[in-house]
Chain A
């Protein structure tokens, strides 16, 4: 079946503008994750959604970052007043559920954000 999809694949924006990134998880996956990966660095956890539970926002770096997800469908990550340090690849992953012994995450291709 279809994997995790993300859009846009690339986004170039000017400093101070807001951007919205989209993630379509695998159908039936209740858990959804957002990560950030700066050039040459590892993955940095941002936020996690599990069904209708309150999201785990512990990884969001500042209040300029927010994310939404309606039910078990699409999620959007919004970055307000973008800064140059926000330039990175933003990765989305989904899994059947985090509350199981094994929770294999499947990743999308990412959105490469460049803030000029």
Chain B
């Protein structure tokens, strides 16, 4: 079973920031938070991951709360091509990735 809880769907206006929440209240100290996305008819695409500190790369920012029980993926300027299912995954050393149902993000023109 997935160790994360995400809203099933969200909308975001094109050009605005998309903030996707994820709850992982049972996360262990050595488990990382990963985000992937899956655009229709494609394989999942890695976005970002983190342990404790906030992370930023060319695609997104990851904000992890101090107690690590939740996190938010931020797409700073959403485009129509960001419409996808976004998966939040908690994974520890040597564990499999368990993909839950994710959040279906619709970026609207």
- For chain B, which range describes its interface: under 10, 10 to 19, 20 to 34, or 35 or more residues? 20 to 34
Task: Give Cα A107 to B99, complex, Å.
Answer: 13
Secondary structure of the B side of the interface? loop
- For chain A, which range describes its interface: under 10, 10 to 19, 20 to 34, or 35 or more residues? 20 to 34
Chain A residue, CB-CB nearest to B44: A107
Task: Give Cα A42 to B89, complex, Å.
Answer: 12
B75 to chain A, nearest CB (A): 19
Residues on the B chain within 8 Å of A70, using CB: none
| Other-chain residue from B30, B34, B96, B100 in contact with A42 (beta carbon distance below 8 A) | B100
Find residues 39-65 in chain B having any chain A CB closer than 8 Å to their own CB: 42-46, 49
Binding site for A on B (CB under 8 A): 2, 30, 32, 34, 42-46, 49, 87, 91, 93-94, 96-102
